[in-house]
Amino acid sequence: MAKGMREIKRQIKSKQSMKQITKAMELVAASKLRRAQNAALAGRPYADKLKEVVSSIASGSGGTKHPMLQSREVKRTGYLVITSDGGLAGGLNSNLLRKLVNEIRENHKSKDEYAIFVIGRKGRDFLARRDYPIVEQITGLSDAPTFTDIKPIAAAAVRGFENGTYDKLYIVYNKFVNAISQIPTIKQLLPLDESALGGGAKGATADYEYEPSAEEVLSVLLPKYAETLVYSAMLENKASEFGSRMTAMGNATKNATKMINQLTLTYNRARQAAITQEIAEIVGGANAL
């Protein structure tokens, strides 16, 4: 009995230590989530203004056309996949990668029909183990990534569409809703269509003059706009990562509390039984005397 009680007490201490860790991780994730949300909000004015200018040029009376705005026969597709570097984030990465795998199985018959750009160690490891065609990768990003951090891979993906290597380009990431809800999303990045640009500006719009020409300005702005969309998705995924980790660690803390309570109850019952047995032995010995 004493041996069993010692084992229960050891388990209680172990669960208490684990609870302290998960609680600390929950608080850290909550703090990082707030910063990630603020970063996402801070980048929206720039993206919105860039979208307004691009939409104005694309829908202008001059009939400006650009390859990034025009659909073509799809022979090869590119996927830019954004995952986290670390784990302990619930089903965040597994749900996203499952959606990607299903998308590839439904739309492609061979590996020659698609290529993958991947951000994040979890996505890279998953896809590499299954021999998916990864053409470029970035891992080890900070908790607060900058545009410079993801620009090389974003520019490579956009350049691949521009030069005809890919006829369609999708971005795969977790869309942030709130701390307990993140939506695995596969969104068409290129070609940019009317819906992606908002169908042009509505109501009163600014009258822009372009130098040297609208076409040349558009050729510079469109790749930059596409890269900005990738960065926005990166920020969304970071917020989703911290939200999912905060929820997962919160659930782990609650489960640890329940286990500690159950083990404490079991320990108290065993202790009570041991005391009762000792009293019975003392009374039995006294009666024998």
pLDDT in tens, 138-194: 999 999 999 999 999 999 999 999 999 999 999 999 999 888 899 999 999 998 876
Instruction: Answer yes or no: are the C-beta atoms of 129 and 278 closer than 8 Å.
Output: no
Number of H helices, E strands in the chain: 5, 5
Higher pLDDT, 101 or 222: 101
Instruction: Answer yes or no: are the C-beta atoms of 160 and 78 closer than 8 Å.
Output: yes
pLDDT of residue 3: 62
Domain ranges of the chain: 28-247
Cα dihedral 65→43→236→85 (10° resolution): 110
Domain 28-247 class in CATH? alpha beta
Instruction: Answer yes or no: are the C-beta atoms of 26 and 250 closer than 8 Å.
Output: yes
pLDDT of residue 275: 84
pLDDT in tens, 204-255: 455 667 777 777 888 888 899 999 999 999 999 999 999 999 999 999 999 9
pLDDT of residue 111: 93
pTM for this model (two decimals): 0.86
The 8-class DSSP code of residue 137 comes to E
Cα-Cα-Cα-Cα dihedral sign, residues 257, 31, 140, 167: positive
pLDDT of residue 285: 79
Instruction: Answer yes or no: are the C-beta atoms of 174 and 185 closer than 8 Å.
Output: yes
- The span from the CA of 85 to the CA of 29, in Å, is 14
